[in-house]
Amino acid sequence: MTAKRNRTHPSIQDTGAVYKTKYVLFISFISALGGYLFGFDFAVISSALPFLRVQFALDVYWEGFATSCLAIGAIGGCILAGRISERFGRRSGLTCAAVIFALSSLGMALSPAFLSFIFFRFAAGFGVGMASMLSPVYIAEISPAPIRGRMVAINQLAIVIGILVTNLVNYGIRNLGEDAWRWMFGIGAIPSLLFFLGILILPESPRWLVQKGKKLEAEKILSAIGNNVYVAETLAGMQRSLPGNQRAGYAILFKKAFLPVVAVGVGLAMFQQLCGINVVFNYTSNIFESIGASKDDQLLQTVFIGGVNLLFTVFAILLVDRLGRRVLMLTGSAGLAVLYIIIAYFLAIKSVLVSLFLLLAIGLFAATLAPVTWVLISEIFPSRIRMIASSFAVICLWLAYFITIFTFPLLQEAIGTDNTFYIYSGICFIGFVFVLTRVKETKGKSLEEMDEYLSVH
C-alpha cells in the first residue's frame, strides 16, 4: 500500500521516515479527555452561578472567589503534576488527575454548605491544573513534528467540546428546581470515569522512557507510531538531547541560558488569561444581566458561546501547522484589542448587538490565542527543562486566570462592565507588541531541533 492510503506521512526532512496518523490521533484524543474535563470544570460555574448566588447569598467578593478558586487549586495541580510525571511517568499523572476530577465533581454536587463547596471546587482545580499541563505535554512528546501542532490543538478542541456540552446539559436541566446546580456539578463524574478507563490503554511517553534509560520500551512504543527509519531518527534525536538532562528544580529556569525562553513561555501563558476573554465564559450571566437579559436568556447565551468556541477551534486545528503559531497569535491579540473597544461601546448603550461582537471575540480567541498558547507552551522549552518549565508557565497562567476572574466582579461594580473591557483592550495591545518582538515561529520543527533553533536565532 502507498503511504497515503495507509494514512502515513513523510517526515519533514523526507528521509524515508513515515508515521501512522490514525494511531497518533487515537492516542491524542484519549489524552485530550483531560482537556474535556478541564472544559467542564471551567464552564459549569457560569451556568451554576445564578443558583449559587441564591443558595449561598453571595456578594461580589465571594462570587469572584467561588469562580476563581479553581485557579488556586490548579496552581497546586501543576506543581503536583510536574513531580508525579517526572518521577512516575506522564500516564501516572493523568491517572491521578482523572481520580481527582471524579471525586471533586461528586463533592461539589453533594456539598451541604458553601465552605465545603469551595473545598471541592479548589480540589477540582488540582485536576484541572494537572490536565492543563500533562495532556498537551504528553501529546507533544508522542507526536511527530509535522502534525504536532494539530495534535496538541486537539486538547483545546476537547476543552471547548467540554464547555459546549456542559452548557447544553446545564441549559437542559435549568428547570429542575433550586438544586439544579447540584446536578450540573455531579454529571462531571461520568466523563471522569471514561478518562480513567482510557488512560489504561495509553502508552507511556517515549521521551520520558528514554530519560529514564528505558530505551527498549521507548523503541517499542515508537515502532507502533512509525517505521524503522522514524524510530531510529526519533531515538537519535532524543538521545542527543539527554546530556545534562538531570532532574531540575525551578531555580534552573532563572539561569541565563534558559531565562529568555522561559520569559517568552510565561509571558504567553499569562497573556492568554489577562486578555480577558475568560470573563465572557465565566461571567456570561453578569454581562448579559447588565443589559437587562432574563435568566433563561443568560443561560442560552452560554450555549451560543460554546457553539462558536467549538466551530472556530476546528479552524485553529486546520491552520496551526499551515499558517504557523506566530501569525495566529498576532491576529488574535490585535483583533481582540479592536473588538473589545466595540463591545465596550455597545455595553455602555445596552445594545443587544453586544452579543454579536462577544461571539466574534470568542471565535477569534478560539482560532488563535486559545489553542496556540498551549501548543507553544508544550514545545518551546528545551528538553532539559521542558516539564519543569511547562509546569512553571502553566502555574503563571492559572495565577493570571485567578487575577482576571476574581477582579472582574469588583471592576464591574467599581467602573462598570463597559469600562472593564477597555482595560482588556489595552492588555491585548501590549500582548500584540510582545508577540511581535519576542515570539519566534516554531512550526514543523521536532522538539529536539527546537533546542538548537531557539538558542541560536
**Is 15 within the bounds of a domain?**
yes
CB 253 within 8 Å of CB 392: yes
User: Between the CA of residue 70 and those of 4, 197, 390, 401, 453, what are the distances in Å?
Assistant: 44, 25, 19, 9, 36
pLDDT tens digits, 268-294: 999 999 999 989 887 877 788 777 776
Give the containing element (helix H, strand E) for 446.
none
DSSP states of 282-342: HTHHHHHHTTT--HHHHHHHHHHHHHHHHHHHHHHHHHTTTT-HHHHHHHHHHHHHHHHHH
Q: Would 68 be classed as within a structural domain?
A: yes
Alpha carbons 343 and 353: distance in angstroms, whole number: 9
- Distances 219 to 41, 140, 232, 241, 261 between C-alpha atoms, Å: 37, 17, 8, 16, 30
User: Residue 413 is part of a domain; what is its CATH number?
Assistant: 1.20.1250.20
Q: Residue 406: inside a domain, yes or no?
A: yes
Whether 269 maps to a domain, the answer reads yes
Cα separation values, 144 from 195, 197, 311, Å = 24, 25, 25
The Cα 244–Cα 246 span in angstroms is: 6
Other C-beta atoms closer than 10 Å to the C-beta of 296 total 11
pLDDT value of residue 390: 84
For the whole model, what pTM was predicted? 0.75
- Contacts of residue 379, Cβ cutoff 8 Å, sequence gap at least 6: 140, 148, 152, 442, 447, 450
Closest CA to 94 of 123, 122, 61, 131: 131
Looking at residue 398, its amino acid is W
Cβ atoms of 105 and 186 within 8 Å: the answer is yes
Q: Is residue 143 part of a domain?
A: yes
C-alpha–C-alpha distance, residues 320 and 327, integer Å:
9
Number of domains into which the chain is organized: 1
Note the pLDDT of residue 378: 76
Domain of 65 in residue numbering reads as: 8-456
Low-confidence ranges of the chain (pLDDT < 50): 1-13, 245, 456-457
The C-alpha angle with vertex 6 and arms to 199 and 141, in degrees rounded to 5, equals 40
Look up residue 15 and give its three cell numbers. Answer: 528521509
Looking at residue 372, its pLDDT comes to: 87
In which residue are the cell numbers 467540554 written?
162
Compute the distance between CA of residue 311 and CA of residue 366 in angstroms, rounded to an integer. Answer: 8
3 is a domain residue: no
**Residue 1: inside a domain:** no
Q: What span, in angstroms and rounded, lies between the C-alpha atoms of 241 and 383?
A: 6
**Neighbouring-strand partners of residue 9:** 19
The verdict on residue 416 lying in a domain is yes
